[in-house]
Amino acid sequence: MEQGITPSERFVASLCDRSFLRLWTHPNPKGKKGKELCDCLIVCGPHIVIISVKECDYKDTGDKTGWERWEKAAIEKSASQIWGAERWLDTAIQVERKDGRILNLPPIDERQYHRISVSLGGKGHVPIKWGDLGNGFVHVCDEVSVGVVFGALDTITDFVEFLTATENMVSSGIQMLFSGGGIEDLVALYLMHNRSFTITDEANQQPDLLILADDLWKGFYKSPEYKAIQEDFKGSYLWDRLIDHYTDDLLTDGMFDMHSKEVTDNQLALVEMALQPRGYRAVLADIFIEFLQKPELKLASRAVKAYGNTAFVFLIGRSSDREHRARELALRCLVVRGRLPGVKTVVGIATDRPGTSEIGYSSDIVYIHMPEWTDRDESDVKGIQADLGYFKNTQWSGRQ
């Protein structure tokens, strides 16, 4: 990963790299006339996260002057950089990374911007100003909360869903008061309520004011509930490693697309893998491992409904007959698109079963996105199932 310029920027870039993975983390990208656009840009699917890092030591003046000076240097300048970056991005279809690699941006009408100010130096002495600061909602993190937000919500979908839920809560009229803490306590509240801010009183009424105690995150972090969540998610990081494995191929010689028979730098399959929230990754990783390591199940392939309108197909086949394996994978993906309710996108992953190959191991990946389903598509799937039997006797539901 190309690191940031200052120690603070490098720290934030490393957090992003760990949470959102290196293919979608872009420290110090170039904007207008080759100048730095922002300190870190995250681009994954429709999401564009603009991050500005400012560090300014707070100096106590004995009155509000010290607060105002720090706020102007650490928050207002950060917000200004974010809004400037967003204006420029609205006119661009590509961004050049610091290392010169060109990054394609999502279509303008699909983009969802998220604004993050990492304002350091206050060290808990300054009340954090955040919200709509003039040109859109800016989420402000300090020394404590930045690690919590990026650590507890460490996938792009988990992260942006929290940001969106926060913005929706504020826009609904609920006012929030931090009693000495920061956004980390808001993260705790969100997780304690099953990743939601649906909070009502005994009369089922929404409160007008929320006062967040400064020990909310500290208490939740030590709680059995949070430890159970972490235990449930432990296996999910295999999914991250699988993404990283394919990223190595993509960033070196490119991935070989078995469907088009060409080397490609198309990352759409990996984007679908990365958009899976942490809970879904845990399920996908468990199913993938069980599928590979339990030959007694006698399954040649497995289909799994995942987050959103995406499904994954896992296939075992020998590297010695890789072309046949890839063809079967593509056909199985087509069947899943036509048979699994609600699915528009299918990613297929094929590999050898561990311990079975005599010539080495390989893996293949297939991506299909079919928003519309035609009579011809339906006829093709019926023929595939009749002739080859792929998923012919499967009972389709939420997860297979």
What DSSP line would sit under 10-64, residue for residue?
A: HHHHHHHHHHH-GGGEEES-B-GGG-B--SEEEEETTEEEEEEEEE------SSH
**3 state DSSP class of 376:** helix
Q: Are 83 and 125 in a shared domain?
A: yes
Indicate whether 191 and 44 sit together in one domain. yes
Residue 67 within any structural domain of the chain: yes
Distances (CA, A) of 247 to 23, 244, 302, 322: 7, 5, 23, 21
Is it the case that residue 360 has pLDDT exceeding 80?
no
Whether residues 72 and 32 share a domain: the answer is yes
Cβ atoms within 10 Å, residue 379: 10
**29, 38 Cβ separation under 8 angstroms:** yes
Structure token pair of residue 112: 């969802």
Residue 375 lies in a domain: yes
Separation CA 93–CA 95 (nearest Å): 7
- If you average pLDDT over residues 129-135, what whole number do you get? 86
Domain count, the chain: 2
The pLDDT score that the predictor gives to residue 192 is 94
> 263 and 217, same structural domain?
no
Region class of 28: left (phi > 0), else alpha (psi between -120 and 50), else beta: left
Q: How far is CA 398 from CA 194, 225, 341, 386, in A?
A: 21, 26, 8, 24
Can you say how many angstroms the Cα of residue 352 is from the centroid of all Cα atoms in its chain?
28
Task: Flag whether 23 is in a domain.
Answer: yes
Tell me, yes or no, whether 274 lies in a domain.
Answer: yes
398 is a domain residue: no
Q: Do 33 and 161 fall into the same domain?
A: yes
Angle at 268 between CA 136 and CA 385, to 5 degrees: 130
Rg (C-alpha) for the chain, rounded Å, is 24
The number of beta carbons lying within 10 Å of the beta carbon of residue 378 is 12
Taking 70 as the threshold, does the pLDDT of residue 148 lie above it? yes
* Separation of alpha carbons 226 and 184, rounded Å: 14
Q: Is the pLDDT of residue 397 over 70?
A: no
Distance (Å, whole) CA 43 – CA 24: 5
> pLDDT digit string (tens) for 27-53?
999 999 999 999 999 999 999 999 999
Would you say residue 27 lies in a domain? yes
Are 51 and 166 members of one domain?
Answer: yes
Q: Answer yes or no: do 262 and 311 share one domain.
A: yes
Average pLDDT for 170-194 = 90
pLDDT, tens digit (0-9, with 9 covering 90-100), for 298-323: 678 999 999 999 999 999 887 667 78
Distance CA 82, CA 113 (A): 10
Domain containing residue 99: CATH number: 3.40.91
Residue range 200-244, pLDDT digits in tens: 777 778 888 888 888 999 999 999 999 999 999 999 999 999 999
Instruction: Please identify, among 156, 190, 222, the residue that sits at the C-terminal boundary of a domain.
Output: 222
b/e for 75-107, b at 16 or more Cβ within 10 A?
A: bbbbbebbbbbbeebeeeeebbbbeeeeeebbe
pTM: 0.91
H or E stretch at 102: strand 102-104
Are 48 and 105 spatial neighbours (Cβ–Cβ below 8 Å)?
yes
Residues 241 and 383 in one domain: yes
Residues 84 and 215 reside in one and the same domain: yes
What is the pLDDT of the chain when averaged over all its residues?
Answer: 88
Cβ(129)–Cβ(140) below 8 Å: yes
Beta-bridge partner residues of 115: 50
Is 72 inside a domain boundary? Answer: yes
Domain-ending residue, one of 196, 222, 248: 222
Q: Is the pLDDT of residue 293 over 90?
A: no
User: What are the tokens at 215?
Assistant: 């020990």
Whole-number Cα distances in Å, 64 to 68, 125, 132: 6, 11, 22
Examine the fold and report which residue of 160, 189, 222 is the final residue of a domain before the chain moves on: 222
pLDDT for residue 253: 65
> Do 318 and 357 meet the contact criterion of CB atoms below 8 Å apart?
yes
Full DSSP string of 250-310: HHTT-EEETTTTEEE---HHHHHHHTS-HHHHHHHHHHHHHHHH-GGG--SEEEEE-STTE
Give me the domain span that covers residue 300: 235-388
Q: Is residue 394 part of a domain?
A: no
Read off φ and ψ for residue 374, nearest 5 degrees: -100, 170
Domain shared by 381 and 303, yes or no: yes
pLDDT, tens digit (0-9, with 9 covering 90-100), for 259-268: 555 555 568 9
Residues 249 and 191 in one domain: no
Residues 268 and 331 in one domain: yes
* Better pLDDT: 214 or 348: 348
